[in-house]
Chain A
Amino acid sequence: MKSSFPRSLQTTIIFLVVGGILALALGGYFSPVSNLFSASLVSVQTWVSTRYITIRNFFNAPSDILSLQQRNAQLEAEISGLQTQVIQLQQQLTDTQVLAALVDFSQANPESIYKAASVIGRDPSPFLHYIIINSGSNDGLRRGMPVVTNQGLIGRIDAVIADAARVQLITDPASAVNIRLQSADTDAVLVGSVTGDLSLEMISQDVKIQEGDIVLTSGLGGDYPPDLLVGQLFNLRKRDYELFQEASVQSTVDFSRLEIVLVIMNFKPIDITPLTPEEIP
């Protein structure tokens, strides 16, 4: 069938219609329709884009995970190395602080010669309060030498081998130290116990003592040098029907956390056993 319009006229009409539609659209007459169209287009593009990225990641991921795992392992290794360094430095700092305190103590008490030793163990029996130190007769240590820290007296050497020594703490149940009370200027005996508590015995009833009084070694008996700090009085017990007063002593030393101690090298204990009168049967 042959068209009744010439071809050029048809083209002109189509252009006019399209141009008219565009003009109407640009004029805002088709905005609801164009919004619907653009929204649909954006949704479709979003969906396609998301799926594309997912698929791309799926194919690219293995290499990324591998590199990430390698990087992660490197960082973890670095972190563990740094943590080890931090622990070592903290330990060195602690040791340095303890040693600095001990040096201060030895400078403040120049009359004694000290030998520092590390605490490497405790007695296997729970009934005894002894520590093992890593210096022995090779370092000049001898039985009976007093052992202190910068905080005060801790005990004396009980047994020595070449490279180690065993120290009886003043908290040991069998330990007895002659002491004097600084403010009352009186002597007494400090004894340990199985719980590690320290108590004073043999304080005369007529002596006035009070909580907080400083306890020092008296030097009597020749086991310890005089004037070593032991602790402070607390929890006084005075009963009229007893011969002596009693009191607990708060030591200045934390015996559960002993790490480095000082052995007083130039003190020789005196054996007064021959002077002790024998019991007559």
Chain B
Amino acid sequence: MKELIAIPLLSLILVFQMAIISRIPLLGGYADLMLVAIAAWSLQERVETSWHWAILGGLLVGWTSALPWFLSLSGYLLIVLLARIMVRRLWQAPLIAIFILVFLGTLIVHFLSIFVLRLMGSPLVIGDVLSIVTLPSLFLNLYLALPALPIFRDLAVWVYDIEDEE
């Protein structure tokens, strides 16, 4: 039952994203709270609902954004897939894992957005977009990833009644 916390939490994250974070740009980019939250949640070892989080978060962002709805959905699903691979097969150093995941996730979502927007006829110049939007967004997302990891670890401990080993 505690898993249902995802609905109000992701809705709140979306509200924060649109009302506050989107008004604090660094050059042309800003942080993607939803991406960081889904990445941090997916890296928690015993979490079983990360796919649900990606679908819910992707649909919420797709519903409010002028981007096609499937774009954020597919981007967040790819992030969860990447996170599952990292958790199971690569290593379990969570801090390095979240940095790599957020870095790759931001690039995935941004390249998908650029690709789709260009297909839709938006005249985006790749060089400008990468330097003005993607790089600052990367920096902000990595900055937010640092506090996100312990916050979502505590949330996972609460949701799944995990004994805190530390």
Identify which of A122, A168, A191 contacts B22 (C-beta below 8 A): A122
Complex interface: chain A residues within 8 A of B17 (CB): 124
Contacts of B30 in A (CB 8 A): 126
Among B4-12, B89-97, B116-124, B147-155, the one that faces the other chain is B116-124
Instruction: Report B-chain residues with C-beta under 8 Å of the C-beta of A159.
Output: 66
CA distance A128 to B25 in the complex (A): 13
- A219 interface residue, CB < 8 Å from B? no
Which of A168, A194, A256 is within 8 Å of B124, CB to CB?
Answer: A194
Known: A121-B18, A173-B123. A126 touches B65 (CB 8 A): no
On whether the beta carbons of B64 and A126 are closer than 8 Å, the reply is no
Q: Cβ of A166 and Cβ of B66 under 8 Å apart?
A: yes
Q: How far is the CB of A158 from chain B (nearest CB, A)?
A: 6
A227 contacts partner chain B, Cβ-Cβ < 8 Å: no
B5-47 interface (Cβ within 8 A of A) = 14-15, 17-19, 22-23, 25, 28-30, 32, 34
Report yes or no: A127 in contact with B132, Cβ–Cβ below 8 A. Answer: no
A200 to B15 alpha-carbon distance, docked (Å): 35
Q: Which residue of A125, A194, A195 contacts B66 across the interface (Cβ within 8 Å)?
A: A125
Interface residues on A, range: 20 to 34
Say yes or no: A124-B122 contact (C-beta < 8 A), given A158-B66, A194-B129: no
Interchain CB contact under 8 A, B19 and A127: no
Quote the shortest CB–CB distance from A201 to chain B (angstroms). Answer: 10
- Asked if B137 is an interface residue, CB under 8 A from chain A, the answer is yes
State which residues 153-176 of A face B: CB under 8 Å.
Answer: 158-159, 166, 168, 173-174
Interface residues of B in 29-84 (CB under 8 A from A): 29-30, 32, 34, 61, 64-67, 72
A195 touches B128 (CB 8 A): yes
Q: A224 within 8 Å of B by Cβ?
A: no
For chain B, what secondary structure do more than half of its interface residues adopt (helix, strand, loop), or is it mixed? helix
Q: Is A225 an interface residue (CB 8 A)?
A: no
Shortest C-beta distance, A173 to chain B (Å), equals 5
B133 interface hit (Cβ, 8 Å) = yes
A123 at the interface (CB under 8 A from B): yes
- For the complex, give the distance between the alpha carbons of A256 and B28 in Å: 11
Residues of chain B within 8 A (CB-CB) of A123 are 18, 22, 64-67
User: In the complex the two chains form, what is the Cα distance from A249 to B11 in whole Å?
Assistant: 38
- Residues on A with C-beta less than 8 A from B114 are 127
Asked whether A114 is an interface residue with its Cβ less than 8 Å from the other chain, the reply is no
Q: Which residues of B contact A122 (CB under 8 A)?
A: 18, 22-23
Contact A168:B66 (CB < 8 A) given known A120-B19, A121-B19, A126-B29: yes
* Smallest beta-carbon distance B1→chain A, Å: 29
Q: B18, A174: Cβ atoms under 8 Å?
A: no
Bound state CA distance, A191 and B19, in angstroms?
Answer: 26
Q: How far is the CA of A256 from the CA of B128 in the complex (A)?
A: 20
Contact present for A132 and B18 (CB under 8 Å): yes
Most chain B CB within a 10 A radius of its CB, from A125, A132, A256? A125
Specify the chain A residue showing the minimal Cβ separation from B71. Answer: A125
- Across the interface, which residues of A come within 8 angstroms of B14, CB to CB? 124
Nearest chain-A residue to B27 (Cβ)?
A: A195
Contacts of B120 in A (CB 8 A): 174
Chain B interfacial positions (CB closer than 8 Å to A): 14-15, 17-19, 22-23, 25, 28-30, 32, 34, 61, 64-67, 72, 110, 113-114, 117, 120-125, 128-129, 132-133, 137
Binding site for B on A (CB under 8 A): 120-128, 130, 132, 158-159, 166, 168, 173-174, 191, 193-196, 256
15 contacts between A and B (CB under 8 A): A121-B18, A124-B22, A124-B61, A125-B66, A125-B67, A126-B22, A126-B137, A127-B113, A128-B67, A173-B117, A174-B117, A194-B128, A194-B132, A195-B28, A195-B128
- With A123-B22, A195-B28 known, 11 other A-B pairs at CB within 8 A are A122-B18, A122-B23, A123-B64, A123-B67, A125-B113, A127-B113, A128-B67, A158-B66, A194-B28, A195-B128, A256-B25
